[in-house]
Amino acid sequence: MTKRMVIMLIAVAIVFGGIFGFQAFKASMIKKFMTAMGSPPQTVSAAKASYSEWQPKLEAVGSLRAVLGADLSLEVAGVVDTITFNSGDDIEQGKLLLKLRAGDDVAKLESLRAVAELNEITYERDQKQFKMQATLDTDAANLKNAKAQVVQQQAILDKKFLRAPFDGHLGIRAVDLGQYLSAGTPIVTLQALDPIFVDFFVPQQSVDQVRLGQSVIVKVGVFKDQTFAGEISAINPKVDAGSRNVQIRATLKNPDHKLLPGMYATVDIATGAPQSYITLRQTAISFNPYGDTVYVVDSKAADANGKPPQLIARQTFVTTGPTRGDQVAVLKGIDEGDLIVTAGQIKLHNGSTILIDNSITPTADAAPVPIDR
């Protein structure tokens, strides 16, 4: 019985040993085949690293403001009697724009002038007749009082006339003839558009890079292909305690009145001499917590077995600098002329074989503009 058990165990061991041996042999052969075959090359796009000139600058956002601007109104109430302007007119300082009905005030002014003239005649007559000094003093006081009342009434009458406080461009008229206006009712806006201000903020860390007279370039979204030059005209002497920013004002020429108060604007401030950096598309950089990397394309010569030359991706760490649009400056890690993978890195590892296809490449615009499609 024991002999039969031993023979059976030996037979089972031989059978299982053959099965496991065959599986190990098959895995070994598959591994050898795959090793000999190698991984297929990955298709990527690539571009040579080259130097570009970079202008150091501060970027900010702000809004446009008229050098002089006001919503015109009157201090007194009344009915509109005369309107002497049209919406959109360019006017000069002092031009009459609107008059309220003022018949009663004019009549009262004439009455007060008549009283003042009578008091003046009385005073002059008493002077010639050498009357008592007390009488002359009373006459002089009456004359002064009458003249003061004339001035007071003239001031009241003048408040019913709206005149342009400065040269500028009128907006849309908001009142009509015969309309009753309360004191302070807006009548029309007046804006001086040339020159024009742009107000913006910079962080307190950058205040030392800003100075009066410094050049700025302003862009407004509505004029995508146009820039406006100006210079810094004022720097706020205090830092905002809430945001830790400093308000800056620049002055721009605006002869065509294209720029309007309230428009949103972006401001570029040149802060130093241009510098030269190796420049890549931002898509070429793999940004990681442990360091930024790129794939450099190396060429592998044909080997002794007749295998053709291959392109190999070599991963390397880089130190990046400032960015602008779709571009990034590289300070360390690559040299000018290196061929760098710009798209398709997710498929690669260090030592991957690659094929380059630049039929579709990522954009590398220094100042990209969004396009609606």
Cα–Cα distance measured from residue 255 to residue 185, given in angstroms and rounded to the nearest whole number: 31
Average pLDDT over residues 152-174: 82
Residue 250: pLDDT band by 50, 70, 90 thresholds?
Answer: very high
pLDDT at 123: 65
Does residue 187 carry a pLDDT above 80?
A: yes
Per-residue pLDDT of 39-54, as tens digits, reads: 678 888 998 988 888 8
Q: Which of 129, 146, 181 is the last residue of a domain?
A: 181
Question: Rounded to the nearest 10 degrees, what angle do helices 103-128 and 133-158 cross at?
Answer: 160
Per-residue pLDDT of 264-276, as tens digits, reads: 888 888 877 788 8
Same domain, 84 and 176: yes
pLDDT at 106: 66
Considering the domain boundaries, does residue 155 fall inside one? Answer: yes
**Long-range CB contacts (within 8 A, 24+) of 289-294:** 291/317, 292/317, 292/318, 292/319, 292/320, 293/317, 293/318, 294/318, 294/330, 294/333, 294/334, 294/340, 294/341
Considering the domain boundaries, does residue 145 fall inside one? Answer: yes
Structure-block tokens of residue 178: 């015969």
Averaged pLDDT score across all residues of the chain: 81
Q: Which amino acid is at 357?
A: D
Q: Quick check: 340 and 297 in contact, CB under 8 A?
A: yes
Same domain, 282 and 266: no
Does residue 83 carry a pLDDT above 80?
A: yes
Same domain, 174 and 201: no
Q: With the CA atoms of 113, 117, 119 and 124 taken in that order, what torsion angle do they form, in degrees rounded to the nearest 10? A: 160
Structure-block tokens of residue 130: 């050498």
Considering the domain boundaries, does residue 29 fall inside one? Answer: no
Domains in the chain: how many in total?
A: 3
Cα–Cα distance measured from residue 73 to residue 113, given in angstroms and rounded to the nearest whole number: 29
Considering the domain boundaries, does residue 9 fall inside one? Answer: no
Q: Which of 162, 181, 200 is the last residue of a domain?
A: 181
The answer to whether the pTM exceeds 0.95 is no
Say whether 132 sits in a helix, a strand or coil: coil
Per-residue pLDDT of 226-238, as tens digits, reads: 888 889 989 998 8
Considering the domain boundaries, does residue 217 fall inside one? Answer: yes
